[in-house]
Structures are given as structure tokens and as C-alpha cells.
Structure 1
Amino acid sequence: MPVQKVTKVEVVKQALFLFKKQGYHRTSMSDLAVACGLLKGSFYHYFSSKDALMLEVLETVHQYFATRVFSIAYDETFPPRERLEKMIAKQIYVAASTEGGCLMGNMAIETALVTQEFLPKMREFFEEYLRALAHLYSSKFEPTIAQKLAEQAIVEYEGAWIMVKLTQNNQFLHDVHQHALERFDA
């Protein structure tokens, strides 16, 4: 029996979990409705389409990371290396806390070539991620090198998630964390 009262926030949260686990294209509106305890027709009361819902999910994830993860890079109460360590650890923890890995990386791989509507949101997320890492590396390196180190960290992180999914071995994530710190210490 469907739940009578579900908030838009709860719908977005359930959609996030399903999109992370199953992917965007493999998640149907029926799947989403069931996960939220709604009848399929009732789901449209909250979102006009799956695309509209995905845009809201992407925005929600971006805002969460901006305020709770990327912001760590700018917290001057800790030294830069400690901020880098905390930011990457938090990022890994958040992505690994539910099945599916990094939602933004997953969606970029799955939808970037077929759903242009999502690209701006995903680009904004990765640009902010890159700025946060480059900010930390710039405390030790000149801007061009800091930018390259930040790019390398993101590439390794997203690649690590692919390997974790293929091998079920979380060591790849621990290695990414360690490599980012080693680059900082170089």
C-alpha cells in the first residue's frame, strides 16, 4: 500500500540511491515510485519526468558536496595537508556509504554522450571539486602544477571506483587517498 505522505526531499533521496545502484537508464519510473512508496501516477505530483528528477538529484548531490566535502578545502583552521586528507576521506566515505560508488562519476559515464541536459550540472560539480583540490595543492605548488595535481587526483578517484566495482576491492580507494597525500608531500 502506498505511503500517504512523502516529501520531495524523500523522493530525491530514494532516487539518488536507486540511480547510484542501478544507473539512470536502468531505473524506471515504476522502480522510483515503489522505492518511495508511491503509485506510479502519484510520482508525477513531485516531478514531471525522470529527467527533472535526475536534475534535482544532481543538484542535491552537488550542494551536499559543496557544503560538506569541498568546503573542507577552505577551512583555514587546519593546515592544507590535513584538509586534503579530511576532504578525500570524507568524499570516499560518502560515496562508499551506499551501494554504487560515486553518483557523479557514474552519471557522467552513463549519460554524458546521450543526455546533454545533465552535462552542465555534472560539469559544475567537477569544476568545483577541481577548484577545491587545486586550492589545497596551491598551498605548496605553483598554480599550473596545483591544477595538474588536482586533475590527477580526480582521474585516479573516478578510475578507482571503476576498479572497485569490477573487483570488489576497496583498496583502490585507499590507494587514491594515499597517492593524493604523497603528491602533496612531494
Structure 2
Amino acid sequence: CSEFTYNPRLWPRDMLRTDFLHLSDCFNAQKSTVRVPDIDPKYKIAVLASKQDHCLFDLLHRWQEGRLPVDIHCVISNHDRPVDNHVMRFLKRHEIPYHYLPTTSGNKREQEILELIEGTDFVVLARYMQVMSESFLKSYGKDIINIHHGLLPSFKGGSPSRQAFNAGVKLIGATSHFVTPELDAGPIIEQMG
């Protein structure tokens, strides 16, 4: 990891973007995005979560501490939470909208989700236990990051910890990756064991 101080007078924004595009070409990157904290606006994100709160709450806690420099547009869940739930109290205190959209196997509520996430820069799936359809991914057209509770590319889908245990694996962890039409097969961003 390297750090430097950015001076826009010495390295104009357009030149910075051009230089980073050239660098990304050297690595055959599919996409290159340059954002400068304190100069560029924060990313606007939406978070989708299911019943388990720990991943969502960890994300919200990091955001509150300033370790996640984004604006949280809303939280969407397919499981309702009691008003006195710690996540609900946090969201209310920080004025982050919460949307409860119960799903069934026949209705994933994708059109409603698309309407709620309109205008966001990307979406985070924080233990959202629904598979997003290819048409949803195409309609949204931006990055979606999944926080998978297992070490990919092994142990895809549900119950990865049980899969790892049954396989005799001694280390379990989590993977953040970009969502693609193939379940848990997108490019890996980071892993923690």
C-alpha cells in the first residue's frame, strides 16, 4: 500500500484520470474508477440484507466510525425487524430509510428494489440471502458487491460454513466479490479468514 498527497494544481484532475486509465490498461482492468476523498462526492449506496443482522450492523458501525466513506441511501430487507431492534434504532437515529419488502420464490420484488436503489452508485448485499436475476443485474447496470460468508471460490451458495466443516476445512472466513449472473462466481475483492 502506498500513500501520497494529491495536489490538483500539480496533477490536474483530467490528467490524473488519464494516467490511471493508462495504468489500468497495463493490468487489463475491465473498469477503472478514480475518486479522491474530500474532493469527489461520496459514493451513494444502498444495502440489502436478510434476517441475520451481524453483517449489516458491522457495515453500519464502520460507516458511523468514518471507516466507510459513503452516503447510505437506504437499507432494504426481505425480513421485517421489530422497531426496538438495534439495527432499526441505529437507522432511525441516523435517518437512514428502511424498506421491508418480503419476498417469495415467485416474487423477489426486484422491480421495487430497482426503484428504491435508483440513483445509487453501487449496492452492497450484506447477507442478503436472495439470488439476483440476470435481468435485475442488467437493469441496475452498476456494481453490486456481495458479502459472502464463506471463502470463495470454494463453498458457494448457502451454508458455506457447514460445507467447509463437512469438508474438514480448518479455516473459515468471508469473501466480498462483485455480483455476476453466476452465483458467487464474480471477481473477488477481498477475503478475511
- TM band (smaller chain): under 0.3
**TM-score, length of structure 1 as denominator length:** 0.22
**TM-score, length of structure 2 as denominator length:** 0.22
Higher relative helix content: 1
Higher relative strand content: 2
